Structures are given as structure tokens and as C-alpha cells.
Amino acid sequence: MAAECANSAIHRMARLLEVSTSGFYKHQSLSVTTRLEERQQRRADLEVKIHAIHRESKGVYGAPRITAELRDRGETVTEKTVAKIMRSLGVAGISPRTFKVRTTVVDPFVSFPEDLVQRRFDRGRLDAVWTSDITYLTCGEGDMYLCAIKDEHSKKVLGWAVADHMRSELVLDALGMAVAERGGDVAGTIMHSDSETVCAGVFGFPDR
């Protein structure tokens, strides 16, 4: 009857099926109540799971990553729903755009070698110019820094290192990996970096 109520009068269908109209409306009311209770239970279940995942991530995960985690656990849910529930719970993830970590600090007393690159990074051959930079990584385990060494002709990352500091060891580890990738033969390669932690003189490379 519910499926046909748009096409036929309720009282006519009730008479043909020999049921009461009051019984039909009572059943409909119970169905609505049941569906409402099911939605409320579903909402409460999602709230518990979202709060648990947010806590497990140490407050880092936002709606996109919590949605992905829920789906990995077998839940069918949209990011919009997760974001709405998170707002109602008063929780939010950590966005790397809400703060900026300074990864370049210029020593006012340091003297820089001559700039051998002059903005001409690609010299048309491998190992002519390498570049390096340090970037900050946001993660639940604590502050981390990534240093990478790239060949400016092939655009390939030759070496990298991750650490919880920006001391010279971070760059040395990345540079060592890059040198090993090229078999140790990197004579004449120009190493260019704008980071504070540079390796002037290491492996015979100028840093700027």
C-alpha cells in the first residue's frame, strides 16, 4: 500500500485488501520510528569510531584520512558525513598549512662560495648540477625533516634522508646516498642548496 499510495487512495486499497486504514497508518508510524532509531544508532556508532581513529592518530587525522580509515575497516561512509560528525564532536585534524616551520636560517657570519649555477640548473647532461633542500614533515610521531638531493638534468632524486633534526648529518646522509647511486664518480658536480645545512667542501662540492 505504501508503494502505491501515490497512484491509489488509501481507503480504496484498504477496502480491497480487507485491512483497516488505521492499521496501515499505525504500521507506517512504526516504520518511521524504526528508521529514525536506526539512523540514530548508526550516527552514534560512527561517532565512537571517528573519535577512536582521531585519538589513535594523536589528533592528526582530518576528515579525508578518517574516512579512508573507516572504509578500510569496512564502513560505507562519505567524507562529508565524517566532516559533519567531527564538527559536532568538536575535533579536527592538524593541517600543515596552519603553521610554518622555518627550515632555512642564514648565518650572518658565514661566507658563501661563488654561485656557480647562476640559475642555469639544467646543463644538458647528468651530474652537472645537483640541488638540495630540506622540508618539514607533519606526522603523529613528532617533528621530522626530509632532505633530498636531485639531479637537475634528469630531475631524478638520487638521495634522501629523514631525521628529527636539521643538523649537518641529515644532509650528509642524503648526499652519501646520492654519491653511492652514481657509483662514487661525481667529480665536477656542482652541489647547489639554499638550506642552512650545506656541505661546503664535502666530497669536493661547492654548495652554492
Res. 95 pLDDT band, cuts 50 70 90: low
Put simply, whether the predicted model's pTM sits higher than 0.75 gets the answer no
Give percent of the chain above pLDDT 90: 23
Work out the average pLDDT over 95-124: 66
Work out the average pLDDT over 34-40: 76
The per-residue pLDDT for 203 is: 40
Are the beta carbons of 171 and 141 closer than 8 angstroms? no
pLDDT of 141 > 90? The answer is no
The per-residue pLDDT for 40 is: 84
Look-up of cell digits 610521531: 141
Burial code of 159-174, b = ≥16 C-beta within 10 A, e = fewer? bbbebeebeeebbbbb
Res. 206 pLDDT band, cuts 50 70 90: very low
Burial code of 133-155, b = ≥16 C-beta within 10 A, e = fewer? bbeeebeeeeeebbbbbbbbbee
The per-residue pLDDT for 205 is: 43
CA distance 190 to 131: 8
Give percent of the chain above pLDDT 70: 66
CA distance 83 to 70: 13
pLDDT of 159 > 70? The answer is yes
The per-residue pLDDT for 208 is: 37
| Between residues 168 and 14, the one the model is more confident about | 168
